[in-house]
Structure formats: structure tokens, C-alpha cells
Structure 1
């Protein structure tokens, strides 16, 4: 019997309180509009008080500049367009998104997922689900809709409990959302925001690119994938068997749950999908894989050749080079080429005119982010221009030093804070804009690379999002669960997610600790400390 049929427990009441508190948060656009005005007021007060701040290593102090002054209003009215269009994530995310949309909408990414899951032996299925789930953030939010039902189908076909596949697929995709062995649009998004908040620092450290956390992501994705498989195999599935959870779908989702999901956020509708590939899909995937391999080989030869124009003047690639600046193009090409080939071979694309239409669908899906980016761009620009960020960073760094928290304990505290905020703000871009504006400069003044702090943020940003009612995809999962257990409720789903949250957080933090204490680079050219 599911926990939904029993009286409310203390945990259920606590989670209900979290839901009520989270529901009181305004829409992200309104939230950042309020923060923009708040920073504007604070900056004006500090300006009138003659506040100055001297950054470590800087020769001259910086005066705080107020928004609601003649200089501030002039700055804002003449730069509002530049603040929006110049918001770094727009340049990288939208470019990569065009190619990823083609790979996703033509079915190439979905075919790869189904092929990997369908070919795994019965004993390895939980670990295959872990690998696919952790890697699937390349599909953005769609991974939390596509992976769970596919995993359930494959589990059932192998004679294992489908609910274990359903729950495990969602947990791996959601709790490990921002780590992947593949470079994704999320990497580009985070990198753009990180660079935008280091403006003006005397030593901003290495420029953050979409591959600045790559080594860390690869290591973390392996650990989390194996851990997800272990939890599915040893914890979730045995529990489903003990509780007698049905293995067959017994009822359709009721209208109440549908209403809850619809009012909890805009989510894409899950469509039925077979766990096996059709002949055209197999043919399309094979040809696309060969084209991808060939393209990767050509790019490797062109960029790694001794006389390559993508090398820096010293003949290398680190710390900076045209190769690192070409990451967006490389990711774009490696997603677009197989997506196009698969689409035309498998028949999901008919004519060349279909390609821009498919790309347009991706931009349409990102329209809400583009609108939000307008407000995020204004907020970040004001934070940098006013020097309020510098005041907070210097005083915050002094506070941590005074409390003796200048090493890894300070980083752990930052991750805990992000995990708690993630219960209320599930949008990674919104939360990173909010906390990054303060903590990236603050930790930079303590000597930490912005790319390292970005990696620490990933831990707090993802692990807890599978247990917060603020995640609209949790309600989509609840609809899927109700097909097997009509009496299931939100407490049912959250209770089955909890076995993943703490192990994921601890394991991910453990990987970060290894990188920290061993002094390993987080990615090409990005270490732990600013040299």
C-alpha cells in the first residue's frame, strides 16, 4: 500500500509547508524585477552616503553608483538594450539550442537512449538507467519526461519491476541534472552567467567556457550513474516488491492530478514511445553515428595538427586558445550533423525546409527563457555597474575570513545553501544568476576560481530538485505513477525520491572534495585556486 492511503505523516506535513511557501514566490521575471529595484534603492542609498570599496590588488577605491541618480538613470536608459542582447548566455545557449533541437526533435537522441536501454542485460538494467538518466540532461527538461516511461517499459520487458525503472529514471535524470559526460546547453548557460558576474574583478581568474567543468562532470557522472543503479537495484526495486506495488497499469490518471500538473508549470506532453527501434530508426541511427564519428575525426585532425590555427601563439591550447573559444561551434556541429542525417534517413525530416521549422520549435520552447533573460540581463548589469556586488563580495569575504571559513568548509556551506534554495527556485539559470552575483566574486576574492565555484553550485542545484513540489515535472511523474497506483499522492513520489537525494549529494560533494584536495583541474585551463 502506498503512503498516500495512510494518514499524513510529519514528513508529509513538512513537505506541504514547503509547497505552500514555494507557491508564494513570485514568477522569476517578477522576482528579478523586484531584486533589480531593491539593488537600485540600496545602490542609491550607498551612493548618497559616499560608500567606497577597495578590491584586493586594486590601486584605487571604487565608489558605489546609485541607479536613482542622474548618472544612474542615464546609464540605464542608454544601455537597456545592450544589457539584454549582451547577456552572455543568450549567445551560447541559443546557438547550441538550434542544433540540439534538431537532434532531439528528429528522434536521434531518443533513439540513442532506447538503443542503450534495450541492449542492456537484465542484471545491468539499473546501471544502464543510471547512465542514461545522468547523461540525458543533453535533452534539457525533456529528459524528465522521456527517460522514466522508457525505463519502465524496458524493466517490464526484462521481467523486472517497472515502477523501479520509472522512479529510477526520473531520479537519475533529475537529481543528476547538471552533470553529464557530454557538453550541453546548460554548460553554456552557466558559463555565460559566471563570466557576466566577474566583470571588474582585479583578478577574475580563468575565463569560464562550456567545458570549464568538463573533467569534474565526467568524474561525477560516472559516480552518480553507478550510485543511481545501485540504489535502484538494492533499495527501490526491493521496496516495490515488499510493498506489493502493481506491475501492470491499473487505471488512468484522474482529472485532479492533471489539473495539478497543468497549473504547476509549462511541461511538454509525454508521448507513447516503443522501447525498441524500427528498421528506419536503426538505419538512421547507424548512419548518423558514422557521420558523427567522421566529423569528430575531421575536427580533431584540423584542430590538433601542429600548424593548426586553433592553437595559441605558444602552440598550445591552455590557458586560452581559439580552440577553447570554438567550443560552441564544435558542440553545434556535433549535434546538428547527426540530427540532420538521422532525420532524413529515418524519415522524420522530409525536405530541407523542415530544418528551420524544427529549429524554430526549439526557440519557441525557449521563449520564456528569452523573456526572463531580459530581466536577468538588467539585474546583472546593474549589479556590476553599481559596484554593489563588489561591496558585498569584499565584506562577505572578510566575514568568512573572520569566522575562519576560508577553505573547503566555506564551499560546503555554499552548497548547502544552494540545496535549500533549490527547494524554492528550481530554475538553474535563475538561481545561479541570484547566488552567482554575490558568491562568485566573494570566493574569487578568497582565491577560488569562478569555474570551481560554478562546479560547487551544480551539486546544490540538482540533488534536491526531485523532492520539491516546485518542480512541475514531479507532477508529471505522479501521473505516471498513478497508472500503476491510483491512490498514490505527492508524498508517495517524494518518499521514493528521498533514497537518491542524500547519497547523490554526498557522493557529488565527495567528488568535488577529491578535486579540491588533490588540486585537480575542473576542466581545461580551470583549476581550484586562481594562480
Structure 2
């Protein structure tokens, strides 16, 4: 009886996801979709401006109005900012910079050989969990992880006879939905705690927040999310996808002795590069550390993308030279150029995406929606843990509109940290609640600029895939991660487990 019930539930959930995919795929091509969204923002800003909507950000008395793109000022902005919106769009520079290195390593065949000789030899039962875990740890490389992990995960799954889109989804889930978790203190901890401390300084004698105040919770979260992501992949996503029947005919051949030699030389180059990097970092008064000698924040963390790019160039050259694929400097430029050609569709798409996001930010519509939602929750007269759970759910919804974690916390912290502090909640505890919500819905919002990048990777395996396909793949991860994370959050509360050194639920 139980098996029949479970089967019925699985069929129902599969139909639900299929419906989402059908509806989503009726949307226009991603390029035209964002063109349409940009036009809608223009019209919406004109409509809202008729009502003279004004608001003030928490902690500021300055009145901010929703600006009209149909006004003279708005038209001037749209005409004069097109190029700046495009070339100044952060993901564009990150992705293209990363692809100079990753693309080189890929074109000379290093990544293919590495997969054959390492990941592919891992026990198949652990592959899924290794992908999720690697994706979560990827936030050490900041947004660069969105470019590295999902496509490599797809390749891994494809080459062990599993559906590549399941691997892509698992990698994207780890990187996106698990973005704020890690087993060590990362840059995210420093950024969010800095905002929290700045807010709490306005209250005399209030507790401050340090980068390690959520460490225990995030460490345990990494392990739980790894298991949850692996189960979602193997029990929900992969069975729904079925057998892969794409047009790819590429198969990995047996590794030659020359390729093995190249892999060893690449490994030696990697060790040498890391050793040199460590030497520079530990050198007295290292310019890559901050003024206090710390690493978070530091020029090294800020420059992690070029550091990773140079790493891949180093190992790619070592491998390419060994296999005589790189004979001179022209060969390096040639392979990099080939990698850039593969990114042409992405560049076209980013043009439309960058204009839409720039319009959305300039009109202040996003800030208005976020502040309005925050003010509504502040007015709710509740003092129990349920209000914190409501705060998590509200933040998860707002994250669909305001993607940037730091920007959203900058809007919410001045209201919610103070409100909960007066209810005797520790500010680091509320910050942890925010982080649960901020990551969970990253993978189902088109406001995530890397959403369209992952979609481009997906189309390599399924040319018919659309936004609905990706959303249907990622929705189970988003829902399960949010539920599991909330339950883990409540378990810490009920069991009295500290969220960080000396940090509990109350001040």
C-alpha cells in the first residue's frame, strides 16, 4: 500500500514539474524574453510614477521615488547607458576572464583527461554527492564557481553513463542554492557580518557580529545540503529525465601514455603554482593580504577570478606543451580564441540581460518592492520563533527580485536586525536565518545572471531546452534545500547548539 502511495505521489509531482516545463518553455527565447522584460520595466515605471510613489530605505530619512524611464531623464539614461550597461555587467567580465583559462585547458584536452583519470574512477555511488559538495565549496571562488562546476558536472555524468542534465542540475544546485554555506569561513561571512556590525553600531551596547559567528551552522549545513542535494538528484531529477538520448556522440577514449604524462606535468604545475601562491600569501607584509595581515577581506579574495584564470592557464600550458599541442605563444592565443568563439551566444544574450537589470535598478522598483515587503513584516506583532521562520520565507521570496545577497541584506538588516534585537534575538542568529533564505531560491530566479549561463550550458546537451526546462530541474532542489535548511535551523534552536563561537538564539 505504501509503495502504491509513493508511486502515486511521484507521478503527481512529476506531472507538476512537467507542467512547469511546458509553461516555461512557452516563454520567448531567452534573448527576446529579457528584451520583453526590459520593455515591461519601462512601461511599469511610467505607470507607477503616476502615483508619485516614494519610500525611504531603512536607516535613512531620504525619500526615494520610483523613477520613470519614459521621462526625459529616463530616455537619456536608456540612450547613454547602453554600452556601460553591457561592458560593465560584472558576470560578463567574470565569465570571459574565466573562460580564457578554463577554455584553454579544455581545448588542449586537459579537462577530458582529468575526468577520465580521477572523477570517472571514483565510486559511482559517490559521484553525485561529490558534485554537490564541490559546488557548495565553490563559493570560495565567488561567482566563478557558476562557470566552472555545472558544465564539468554535466561532463562527469555523461561519461559515467548518466544523464548530463542531472549532473548540470546537481552542480548548479550546489553552487547556487548552497552558495552561502561552507566548511571554512569565506568571503560571504565577512561581507554579511560587516553589514550586520555596521547596523548594530547604531544601538549603544548592542552585540556585534564577526565573520565566524555563523561558522558552526554553515559547516553542518554543508554536510546536510550535500546529502539532500544528492538524494534529490538520484530520487527525483534523474528518474524524471530518464535515459539521455541527445545528439552527442563524443566518447572518451582510453588514456594514452602521453596523456598520462601530460596529466602528471599539469599536476606538478598546479602544485608549483599553489606553492608559489602560498609563499606570496605568507610572505611578511604580503600585498595580497589586508592591512591587518588577514585574508578576509583581502586583495587575494577580491582578485580570486584572475588567480583562478592563471591557474588554469598554467596547467593548460603544461599539459598542452607535453602533448605538443602548444608549440609557441600563438598556439595559446589560438586555443583561447576558440574558447571565446564558443561564448558568442552567451555574449549576445548578456547584452539583453544587462539592459533589463540596469533598467530595473535605475527605476528603484526592486528596492521599493524589497522595502515594502520588509516594512510589512516589521508591522507583524509576533515574538516567537515563528516570526523568524516567516522572515526566512519572506526573504526567499524577495530573493527572486533582489538577487544580490549583500544588497538585499543591506536593505533588510537595518529593519530586521533591530526589530529582532529588541525581541532579545542575537543579530548573528538573524543573519543565519537570512542566509538560509538567500541561497535557497538563487537557482530558480532569472534575476540570477548566471541562470542564463547555465541555460546556455544546458543547450549543449539539449537544443530544445528552455527556461522552463531549467526551472523544472532546479525547483526540487530549491524546495528541498529550503525545507531541510529551515529544519536544521530549528534543530539548532531546539537543541541549543551554538551557531558560532558563543552565539546562540538570544543575546
Q: TM-score, normalised by structure 2?
A: 0.66
Q: CA deviation at 1:508?
A: 6.0
For residues 458 and 475 of structure 1, do their structure 2 counterparts lie closer, same or farther at Cα, with a shift above 3 Å needed? Answer: same
For residues 379 and 440 of structure 1, do their structure 2 counterparts lie closer, same or farther at Cα, with a shift above 3 Å needed? Answer: farther
List alignment gaps of at least 5 residues for structure 1: 1-7, 153-165, 185-190, 196-201, 206-212, 241-248, 262-268, 419-430, 480-494, 522-526
Equivalent position of 2:158 in the other structure:
149
Counterparts of 1:493-504 in structure 2, within 5 Å, are none
Q: CA RMSD in A?
A: 5.1
Counterparts of 1:231-242 in structure 2, within 5 Å, are none
Asked if the contact 1:310–1:323 (Cα under 8 Å) also holds between the matched residues in 2, the reply is: yes
Equivalent position of 1:386 in the other structure:
363
SS of 2:69's partner is: coil
Aligned length: 422
For residues 99 and 361 of structure 1, do their structure 2 counterparts lie closer, same or farther at Cα, with a shift above 3 Å needed? Answer: same
Counterparts of 1:305-324 in structure 2, within 5 Å, are 305-318=283-296, 320-324=297-301
Equivalent position of 2:264 in the other structure:
286
For residues 390 and 128 of structure 1, do their structure 2 counterparts lie closer, same or farther at Cα, with a shift above 3 Å needed? Answer: closer
Q: Deviations over 1:162-201 (max 9, x none)?
A: xxxx25x7645422425369x99xxxxxx9xxx9xxxxxx
Counterparts of 1:77-88 in structure 2, within 5 Å, are 77-88=79-90
Q: CA deviation at 1:66?
A: 0.8
Q: CA deviation at 1:472?
A: 9.0
CA distance in 2, matches of 1:99, 1:474: 21
Using the TM superposition, name which of 398-407 and 99-108 deviates more.
398-407
Asked if the contact 1:179–1:217 (Cα under 8 Å) also holds between the matched residues in 2, the reply is: no
For residues 437 and 130 of structure 1, do their structure 2 counterparts lie closer, same or farther at Cα, with a shift above 3 Å needed? Answer: closer
Counterparts of 1:191-340 in structure 2, within 5 Å, are 223=224, 269=248, 271-274=250-253, 276-318=254-296, 320-340=297-317
For residues 127 and 432 of structure 1, do their structure 2 counterparts lie closer, same or farther at Cα, with a shift above 3 Å needed? Answer: farther
For residues 71 and 437 of structure 1, do their structure 2 counterparts lie closer, same or farther at Cα, with a shift above 3 Å needed? Answer: farther
Equivalent position of 1:410 in the other structure:
391
Q: CA deviation at 1:377?
A: 2.0
For residues 394 and 459 of structure 1, do their structure 2 counterparts lie closer, same or farther at Cα, with a shift above 3 Å needed? Answer: closer
CA distance in 2, matches of 1:34, 1:508: 35
Equivalent position of 1:177 in the other structure:
172
CA distance in 1, matches of 2:264, 2:402: 40
Asked if the contact 2:265–2:319 (Cα under 8 Å) also holds between the matched residues in 1, the reply is: yes
Asked if the contact 1:87–1:377 (Cα under 8 Å) also holds between the matched residues in 2, the reply is: yes
CA distance in 2, matches of 1:231, 1:381: 35
Asked if the contact 1:443–1:450 (Cα under 8 Å) also holds between the matched residues in 2, the reply is: no
CA distance in 2, matches of 1:107, 1:215: 40
Q: CA deviation at 1:402?
A: 3.4
Asked if the contact 2:373–2:394 (Cα under 8 Å) also holds between the matched residues in 1, the reply is: no
Q: CA deviation at 1:40?
A: 1.9
SS of 2:100's partner is: helix
1:356 to 333, 339, 345: 333
For residues 326 and 221 of structure 1, do their structure 2 counterparts lie closer, same or farther at Cα, with a shift above 3 Å needed? Answer: same
Q: CA deviation at 1:95?
A: 0.9
For residues 399 and 330 of structure 1, do their structure 2 counterparts lie closer, same or farther at Cα, with a shift above 3 Å needed? Answer: same
CA distance in 1, matches of 2:129, 2:255: 21
For residues 27 and 383 of structure 1, do their structure 2 counterparts lie closer, same or farther at Cα, with a shift above 3 Å needed? Answer: same
CA distance in 2, matches of 1:496, 1:58: 41
1:366 to 310, 326, 343: 343
Equivalent position of 2:124 in the other structure:
125
Using the TM superposition, name which of 399-408 and 95-104 deviates more.
399-408
For residues 99 and 406 of structure 1, do their structure 2 counterparts lie closer, same or farther at Cα, with a shift above 3 Å needed? Answer: farther
Using the TM superposition, name which of 326-335 and 141-150 deviates more.
141-150
Q: Deviations over 1:66-100 (max 9, x none)?
A: 11111111122122211111112222221112111
CA distance in 2, matches of 1:85, 1:9: 46
For residues 27 and 414 of structure 1, do their structure 2 counterparts lie closer, same or farther at Cα, with a shift above 3 Å needed? Answer: farther
SS of 1:301's partner is: helix
Counterparts of 1:9-158 in structure 2, within 5 Å, are 10=12, 13-117=15-119, 119-120=121-122, 124-132=123-131, 135=134, 139=148, 141-143=150-152, 145-152=154-161
Equivalent position of 2:318 in the other structure:
341
CA distance in 1, matches of 2:99, 2:416: 34
Asked if the contact 1:131–1:222 (Cα under 8 Å) also holds between the matched residues in 2, the reply is: no
For residues 388 and 463 of structure 1, do their structure 2 counterparts lie closer, same or farther at Cα, with a shift above 3 Å needed? Answer: closer
